[in-house]
Amino acid sequence: MSIPLAYAGVILIWSTTPLAIQWSGQEVGFLFGITSRMLLGVMAGLTAALVMGIRLPWHAAARRTYLAAGLGLFTAMLSVYWASQYIPSGWISVMFGMAPIVTGIMASIWLDEQTLIPSRIAGMLLGVAGLAVMLLGAHTLGAAAPLGIAGMMFSVTAYSASAVAVKRIGADIPALATTIGGLAVTVPLLLAVYYFTGEPLPRAIPARAALSIAYLGIIGSVLGFALYYYVLRHVEATRVALITLITPVIALLLGHSLNGEPLQAEAWIGTAAILSGLLLFEYGQDMNGMLARLLALITPE
């Protein structure tokens, strides 16, 4: 599979996921939304593996990968669903934009990736500054917004740690196998949480919630995570985390147009800073050479 195509697929799926997460829990509760999604996801994943003839490896590295992916998925996604009760869907993606700097620090320590060179640090900080500008418009989120923001920051930390752990293990297993293995770890944990919290099953599931759960279970969980782990195997962890600097822009626009969420001027200013940060992160090392070549073309001899 083309790595750029897989990368773009992750961006598209993750951009639509926050809104679907919020819709999936409306009138049925966030615990039902996430548990039913993951149950559907593991069944869809096993079906896809059977059709494609993919076996789940069970050697030691594979088991460690499933555990690292599953614990990260359980912790990060449970926090996201809980936080979605208190902040708009677009802000879920915005808060996840903090992942690159967290992942960068972890990758530099545990993966020996040369991520913290000056140009990349500047690009990261510029992207984070753009997200901070967006958050300045959060006065409309309500008094409970700090709970949602705290939940999202906890989720970001879990997500980053899981990505670095999977990368560090470096098991040579199919991306779909990693997805199924991670979901297989996550589902029993979610069922245990559901049982011990005493959350009742909903008497009826609204159509929008049902469609959102189906979308998240099949597209968001199976295809989305399979593409994510495929990209993670071929691209350094910090560059993968940059996806979360792109998806906030799309998610904010979707939340505004489809869910009536406020879109302030701060969002546009933050968008410009994020895109500038991405440009600096990706091409900062070569910026001087690019400028020199450009000046050579436009300057007369």
* pLDDT band (50, 70, 90) for residue 228: confident
What tens digit of pLDDT does each residue of 15-34 get? 999 999 999 998 899 999 99
What tens digit of pLDDT does each residue of 141-186 get? 777 888 888 899 899 999 999 989 998 898 888 888 998 999 999 9
- The counts of H helices and E strands in the chain are 14, 0
pLDDT at 288 over 80: no
* pLDDT band (50, 70, 90) for residue 282: low
Phi, psi of 228 (to 5 degrees): -60, -50
Q: Which two tokens stand for residue 263?
A: 């879109």
Q: Closest by alpha carbon to 77, among 199, 236, 183?
A: 183
Classify the phi-psi angles of 263: left when phi > 0, otherwise alpha if psi is within -120 to 50, otherwise beta: beta
- Of the listed ranges 80-89, 130-139, 216-225, the least confidently predicted one is 130-139
Give the start-to-end residue ranges of the domains of the chain: 3-123+142-259
Q: Which two tokens stand for residue 17?
A: 């996921």
From CA 164, how far away is CA 160, in angstroms rounded?
6
Percentage of the chain modeled with pLDDT above 90: 39
- The pLDDT assigned to 293 comes to 47
From CA 256, how far away is CA 248, in angstroms rounded?
12
Q: What is the dihedral of CA 231, 79, 41, 178, to 10 degrees?
A: 40
Q: Which two tokens stand for residue 111?
A: 């993966």
Neighbours of 50 (CB within 10 A): 10
Place of tokens 């701060």: 266
